[in-house]
Structure 1
Amino acid sequence: MTRNVTPRRPASLRLSLLALCALSLALAAWLLPTSGINLAQSQANAAPMIQGQQASSSDASGYPIKVFFSRYPVSVESDPRAVYPVQRISPTLAVGTFALQMLIAGPTPSERSAGLFSELNTMLSGPSNCTAPLPVGGPDFTLALNQRGSRSEPGTATVRFCRQLTSPGTGADARVQAEITATLTQFSSIRRVVILTRDGHCFGDSSGLDRCLS
């Protein structure tokens, strides 16, 4: 009786196949965690909604905003309401608060050399009368959305300064109002802006009637 005998593979060939399988398994184990991290990062980097508008920045560390400054030269004939936007990246979703902070900080040296300036940069003085979580003084201002003063009003934002505002005149008042209004109304949820002093009165209202609150 004749038996079929399967020829044995050489020992060196068997070792090579085992080594190849082990290498394939190791490579797969190395690649799988990396793919998972990249997927999680791409999901985390998806642009979130900002005030009802999609963020378009490719910078995953923040959200694109504009800050509106005035520009020299200033003359009697110039329009104090004319403002000019510059780009900033907010590191937080509190984009309105950050934009106002950047407005107070003023333009960069290169922007200043192009004539841009912020009236608020020099008008604020003295201590803050707003509470702060840290013992370093309170904030420069508070920002309340959907409020006209203390009254609820959808689409209106109220800025109340916490420090003394010293204005050199009506032209400066108009520039401050234009800078703040343009900076905040870039966000679709804000259509109107009310600006109050640290005492709760309408900024720039020399009548004393607080018309901005009516």
Structure 2
Amino acid sequence: MKELLMAVVLAISPAHAGTAQTVKVYFSKGFGIPGKTVAVIRKAPDRGVARFSVEQLINGPTKAEKSRGLHSELGAQIRGRSDCGADFQLKIASGTATLRFCRTVYGLGVGGDARVLHTIGKTLLQFKAVKKVVTLDKEGRCLFDQTDAGTSCLTGHE
């Protein structure tokens, strides 16, 4: 249990507490499936850098980044009441980052959904403690999974 707690702390905290750390946020460029991504740098607070990275992805690119053709389809698709008091919950354990949205995330069709999942995955996989990303909707189903079970992201059959 102690090792698991250490892995979570290392994944979401910088090496030197009290100092800002730079992180990458991956935005889409173009509209391919899943599309090209471009990393931009953000200065994160001294704690919760993985959470901060997802928040930045939701906030979207700056005006200057938009002028370079970068975009995020995620933020505008998150709507409704939260069941956890925030847009999402993020847990990192045993090499898996589990991102569960606490508000409804509306899909944009196959292309947009693929780009959203791709940018989330790339953004979270930058952290050494993260080897796999699982993205869940408000009900705990794999985000954008339209199958009856809704578990493709858990089984690896996406």
For 1:199, which of 120, 139, 147 is the aligned residue? 139
Are 2:51 and 1:51 equivalent residues in the alignment? no
Rounded Cα–Cα distance in structure 2 between residues aligned with 1:181 and 1:159: 10
Give the drift of 1:208: 2.6
For 1:143, the equivalent position in structure 2 comes to 90
- For the residue of structure 2 that corresponds to 1:51, the secondary structure is helix
Segments of 5+ residues of structure 2 without an aligned counterpart are: 1-8
Larger Rg: 1
Rounded Cα–Cα distance in structure 1 between residues aligned with 2:14 and 2:139: 37
Give the drift of 1:117: 0.6
For 1:212, which of 132, 153, 157 is the aligned residue? 153
Q: TM-score, normalised by structure 1?
A: 0.63
State the number of aligned residues.
145
- For the residue of structure 1 that corresponds to 2:34, the secondary structure is coil
- Stretches (4+) displaced over 3 A: 49-56
1:116-149: CA deviation from partner (whole Å, max 9, x where unpaired): 011112110111111xxxxxxx110000111xxx
Give the drift of 1:54: 7.4
For 1:188, the equivalent position in structure 2 comes to 128
Rounded Cα–Cα distance in structure 2 between residues aligned with 1:203 and 1:52: 23
Identity %: 39
1:4-51: CA deviation from partner (whole Å, max 9, x where unpaired): xxxxxxxxxxxxxxxxxxxxxxxxxxxxxxxxxxxxxxxxxxxxx953
- CA 1:89–1:52 in 2, change beyond 3 Å: closer, same or farther? closer
For 2:29, the equivalent position in structure 1 comes to 71
Which amino acid in 2 is paired with 1:116?
L
Are 2:41 and 1:101 equivalent residues in the alignment? no
Give the drift of 1:93: 2.0
Give the drift of 1:213: 2.3
Segments of 5+ residues of structure 1 without an aligned counterpart are: 1-48, 131-137, 147-153
